[in-house]
Amino acid sequence: MEQTGCAHKKNSQGGKENHPGLMQQNPNDPKGKRKQLQTVTNISQHFSKRKRSASVPKQELYSMSNQPRGHCLIINNFYFETNTSLGKRLGTDKDKDELVKVFKKMQFEVEVEDNLNASDMQRFIKQFAEKDHAQMDAFVCCILSHGEKGTVLGVDGKQVEIRDLLRPLAKCCTLAGKPKLIFIQACQGNVCQEAVGMADEQDDGTEEGTEKENAQTATFQSIPIEADFLIGMSTVESYRAFRHIQNGSFYIQELCEQLKIGSTRKEDIHSIMTKVNRIVSSKVFRGSKQMPEVRYTLTKKMVLPMMSPD
């Protein structure tokens, strides 16, 4: 506008379990000699091989070794032209400042563009798609604006299809095979989601829904199926997203918080986005709910770089 330490094995003949310490007969031993099964004295030894096999191979992880990690473009539309009848997006600067802080600490080169019209939004993203990202690990774009179903709005009130914004990035050769993270704070429609089965939740009166904060989950329907994209939307199709006029939007503020926590714990981006979904969806905003959505075509795990100290 958040066993036991003994290994058991089935006996194929009797269906019984063999326990460490029992005597087992060797069927190939004519003398019927028995030998004692080896007991497990150290559970860490018993599971050591399993632990090693569960670790993620390097080829299944996106590389996050370069510095800077990549470019981060933030489009922050606050003041809309008077002839659009769209209000100022009060609180959006709070979102911008938090995004700048988080991605700078993750060693991204951050650039902020304020109050872009529709054509300028397309132009700036195209310029970034034409950059040489060969020595970069990833690309991030955050769009904070009004919007309508399947689009974001420039400050001139004109719509831009999200698929049109992403197409240049998908064609960028030096970003091929690298994760491209897109976060959009905007409504997906004008309907307020109802709360269902949340008897204990209350609105504390401090949060305010915006009139149009359009999140483009519908665009997920029309975004080309390109590899290595993650698109985080502040709400699902047809519904509003909410923004506090002083504290910023609930989605972006929670996203930044979970990025900070997740990076210190070396969590992958999918786990972080799931937590964002859970925490935002658990809140009530002036009697309404908000359900973020994330879609991705990532082909590897992305573990975000550790936040640099203050």
CB atoms inside a 10 Å sphere around CB 211? 14
Phi, psi of 250 (to 5 degrees): -65, -35
Mean pLDDT of 133-159: 94
For residue 101, being part of any structural domain is answered with yes
User: Are residues 109 and 102 in contact, defined by beta-carbon separation less than 8 angstroms?
Assistant: no
Residues 6+ apart with CB under 8 A from 304: 64, 106, 259, 262, 263, 267, 268, 269, 272
For residue 133, being part of any structural domain is answered with yes
For residue 306, being part of any structural domain is answered with no
For residue 38, being part of any structural domain is answered with no
Q: How many domains does the chain contain in total? A: 1
Per-residue b or e along 214-237, where b marks 16 or more CB atoms closer than 10 Å to that residue's CB: bbbbbbbeebeeeebbbbbbbbbb
Position 29 confidence tier, pLDDT thresholds 50, 70, 90: low
For residue 5, being part of any structural domain is answered with no
For residue 280, being part of any structural domain is answered with yes
Mean pLDDT of 145-162: 91
What's residue 26's pLDDT? Answer: 52
| Pick from 62, 13, 21: nearest CA to 39 | 21
**Of residues 146, 172, 244, 256, which has the active-site annotation?**
146
**Of residues 141, 142, 187, 256, which has the active-site annotation?**
187
- What's 149's domain CATH number? 3.40.50.1460
Domain that holds residue 181: 62-296
User: In this predicted model, what pLDDT tens digit does every residue of 102-114 receive, in sequence order?
Assistant: 999 999 999 999 9
Strand segments, DSSP code E, in the chain are 9-10, 17-18, 23-25, 34-36, 70-76, 108-114, 138-144, 147-148, 151-153, 159-161, 180-185, 193-194, 229-233, 243-244, 248-249, 288-289, 293-296
Mean pLDDT of 82-90: 88
CB atoms inside a 10 Å sphere around CB 81? 13
Active site (annotated) includes residue 270? no
For residue 172, being part of any structural domain is answered with yes
User: In this model, does residue 266 exceed pLDDT 90?
Assistant: yes
CA distances from 193 to 87, 90, 207, 291 (A): 22, 22, 15, 8
Active site (annotated) includes residue 71? no
User: In this model, does residue 249 exceed pLDDT 80?
Assistant: yes
What's residue 19's pLDDT? Answer: 40
For residue 2, being part of any structural domain is answered with no
Mean pLDDT of 205-228: 45
Q: In whole angstroms, what is the distance from residue 146 CA to residue 88 CA?
A: 9
User: Which residue type, as a one-letter code, is found at position 177?
Assistant: G
Mean pLDDT of 36-47: 48
- Give 121's strand partners: none
User: Are residues 79 and 155 in contact, defined by beta-carbon separation less than 8 angstroms?
Assistant: yes
Residues 6+ apart with CB under 8 A from 234: 184, 185, 186, 187, 213, 215, 241, 249, 251, 252, 290, 292
- Give 52's strand partners: none
